[in-house]
Amino acid sequence: MSAVRTQVYLRQEQRKRIDALAQAEGVTMAEVIRNAVDAYLESEVPESGAALNATFGALPGASAPGREEWTRG
């Protein structure tokens, strides 16, 4: 695994909870944070296909102009 060193400031309560979780899981604090970031990114960044599928047919009566109607500048 290639990694980039990154520093962040955590609130004391966050640090305590991360330390407790790391100890309970038998992993490092860094591993807990990497896993949390991965989970966040997976849930927050929609795939373009999902966004397209969610909006497909949203305007069923819509029509696009033909090429002859395009204006070129």
Mean pLDDT of the chain: 87
Instruction: Please state the domain extents for the chain.
Output: 9-43
pLDDT of res. 68 = 84
Residue found by looking up tokens 């944070």 in the block: 33
| Exposure letters 45-62 (e unless 16+ CB within 10 A, then b) | eeeeeeeeeeeeeeeeee
pLDDT digit string, tens, across residues 23-42: 999 999 999 999 999 998 88
Q: Categorize the per-residue pLDDT at 63 as very low, low, confident or very high, splitting at 50, 70 and 90.
A: confident
pLDDT digit string, tens, across residues 46-60: 667 777 777 777 777
The Cα–Cα gap between 38 and 42 comes to 6
- To the nearest whole percent, how much of the chain has pLDDT over 90? 49
